[in-house]
Amino acid sequence: MTIAKRKFDTLVIGAGGAGLRAALQLSQAEAAVAVISKVFPTRSHTVAAQGGINAALGNVTDDHWHWHMYDTVKGSDYLGDQDAIEYMCRAAPNTVIELEHYGVPFSRLENGRIYQRPFGGQSQNFGGEQAARTCAAADRTGHAMLHTLYQQNINARTHFFDEFFAVDLLKNERGDILGALAFDIESGEKIIIEAKTTLIATGGAGQLFRTNTNASINTGDGLAMALRAGIPLQDMEFFQFHPTGVAGKGMLISEGVRGEGGYLVNCEGERFMERYAPHAKDLASRDVVSRAIAVEIREGRGCGPNKDYVLLKVDHLDPEVIKKRLPGIRDISLTFLGIDPIEAPMPVFPTAHYTMGGIPTNRYAQVVVPVGTGAEEEIPGLYAAGECACASVHGANRLGGNSLLDIVVFGRAAGKHIIDYLKTHRQHKPLPDETVEQAVQRLARWEQPASAVGHSATVESVSALKAEFQQVMEEKCGVFRTEEVLAEGVQAVKSIQERLKHAVISDYSRIFNTARVEALELENLVELGLATVISALSRQESRGAHSRVDFPKRDDEHWLRHSLYYQQDNRLSYKPVRTRPISVDTFPPKERVY
């Protein structure tokens, strides 16, 4: 059967904030752009972002991009690349103003300027007083941004393939990426999208863990596609646990709640963050607050009948503030907890939230891989931006409000670089049959009905295996880690990967494409799970979100370096952190206190 083929200048895989920002840049420059998304674009996870986007506009407190840079480097526990961080923080004010001009309906101050709220890890003057740097559209900032970017793309005539699932990247022998194989989820029809340049913008992999804040579509497909194409993944051991998820369920309660004056208490009614972070208190960085909650519970000061959560209080705030600035949070609390936060505190517990690791990129969003000793090379025509990329601006721990910034800054950077690249690369490279065949084979595995796979007694279902996998990741690779437990994790994930080879998607004679998607997603997740536990087992120190009970200290001498995980032989290698910014002095590693 022949497969339909389409050719474009650029293929953007993913229609979240990163993909849409890049596509807009390209369509406005008259490039032929295809954006494919497995859900309708405005359902991408960016839509769920609550708290806001950071930029040193200085509308509420004094501010400067250099202070923002300092906070981000410190927040990253010095693992972030300082050239990329400088680039992002300097670009932030203009990027936000640009969003405003595109039509993002930001909340306003009395004087008409964009409203900014304080968020965790923000300071004035390199570690001084709390700054208010997060620009917000109430507590629905991502929704406002995503819809605006989508409308702008429609206006610029970007070509969308909605509800198409990208299976694998296509490449030639040299490793040049030539597009992707995808299929239409409704009809199952396959399509080859050939492109001179490809941008991976597929978002994060929060579905690695059972309790998480992410949409069910956040399965890290782009990261797994990169792995299969021979590209290593960087810093996968660093996964952010957000301190305030709805206890037992995981939905996010934005840091904006603490930004507006909310705080955490234990069963004794103590505001315990004062002990862990005397200066920043509840607005310490996320890794610090998540660990503090875990310790309070472990030491018996949790709340509720099982003492397994802490409380987030806002009932001391003016109800009007809650209604105006946190309406979405109030909805979530009413719906999932049955509690009106105006009247009573909300039970919260840390929940898996953000993938710091990802596809290694430089500050132009080009994918870079190591060649020989110490040197790096770009893969011509291949880009990654957003949560799937590792620029690395977040290092070992991301600051709240920096991801919405990351996606638009590096989405735009990718668009700009691609426009230049296309000027000198006008032809499509020939597409070898073998690469298409390989991708088709991966899909074919899930095209047979259960009856064809046979051996009913030993057959396992994909959904059950997924639940088991997520549970393993949560238990073996959570907030606190040890060698023993991580080693068990590696074995457990490997065995699930083996069992998945024999699993089936359904016992019914009619198999829906959505079930195929779930199976392909689980294959992706399991590969990423392995990357995560293996990278975590190897890193013998505690840094940012990676907290090893058996190696409680940060060890800059041995571990101030990025890890790179290769799928082949589950191999790890390491590369130095780029500590040299573009135009200012390096921030050298210091002890990190809040």
Ligand X SMILES: Cc1cc2nc3c(=O)[nH]c(=O)nc-3n(C[C@H](O)[C@H](O)[C@H](O)COP(=O)(O)OP(=O)(O)OC[C@H]3O[C@@H](n4cnc5c(N)ncnc54)[C@H](O)[C@@H]3O)c2cc1C
Of 302 and 395, CB closest to ligand X: 395
Q: Residues with Cβ < 8 Å from 532, sequence gap 6 or more?
A: 208, 236, 237, 239, 357, 473, 477
Of these residues, 43, 286, 363, 412, which one is catalytic? 286
Q: CA 523 to CA 520: how far, in whole Å?
A: 5
State the first-to-last Cα distance of the chain, in angstroms, to the nearest integer. Answer: 61
Name the helix (H) or strand (E) containing 265: strand 263-265
CB 72 within 8 A of CB 43: no
Give the CA radius of gyration of the chain.
23
CB of 592 to ligand X, least distance (A): 21
Of 224 and 303, CB closest to ligand X: 224
CB of 509 to ligand X, least distance (A): 26
Q: CA 27 to CA 196: how far, in whole Å?
A: 15
How many Cα atoms within 13 Å fall on the side-chain side of residue 189?
11
How many Cα atoms within 13 Å fall on the side-chain side of residue 426?
2
Of 326 and 560, CB closest to ligand X: 326
CB of 256 to ligand X, least distance (A): 7
Pairing of strands 239-246, 177-184: unpaired
Q: What tokens does 149 get?
A: 């970017």
Q: What tokens does 449 get?
A: 């009905």
Of 390 and 534, CB closest to ligand X: 390
Residues that bind ligand X (CB under 6 A): 13-19, 36-39, 41, 44-46, 48-53, 141-142, 165-166, 201-204, 213-214, 217-218, 221-222, 252, 254, 354, 386-387, 400-404, 407
CB of 121 to ligand X, least distance (A): 12
Of 130 and 218, CB closest to ligand X: 218
Of 70 and 164, CB closest to ligand X: 164
CB of 53 to ligand X, least distance (A): 6
Of 45 and 281, CB closest to ligand X: 45
CB of 371 to ligand X, least distance (A): 27
Q: Is 286 a catalytic residue?
A: yes
Block residue for tokens 């060890």: 555
Q: Residues with Cβ < 8 Å from 510, sequence gap 6 or more?
A: none
CB of 377 to ligand X, least distance (A): 24
Beta-bridged to residue 116, according to DSSP, are 135
Three-class HEC string of 283-348: HCCHHHHHHHHHHHHHCCCCECCCCCEEEEECCCCCHHHHHHHCHHHHHHHHHHHCCCCCCCCEEE
Q: Taking the mean position of all CA atoms in its chain, how far away is CA 464?
A: 25
Strand runs (DSSP E) across 394-536, as ranges? 480-481
CB of 88 to ligand X, least distance (A): 12
Of 219 and 542, CB closest to ligand X: 219
Residue nearest to ligand X (CB): 16
Find the helix packing angle between 82-102 and 402-424, rounded to 10°: 90
Block residue for tokens 């200048």: 9
Of 18 and 496, CB closest to ligand X: 18
Long-range contacts for 436-440 (Cβ within 8 Å, ≥24 apart)?
436/3, 436/170, 436/181, 436/192, 438/168, 439/167, 439/168, 439/170, 439/180, 439/181, 440/3, 440/181, 440/190
CB of 10 to ligand X, least distance (A): 15
Q: Which residues are catalytic?
A: 286
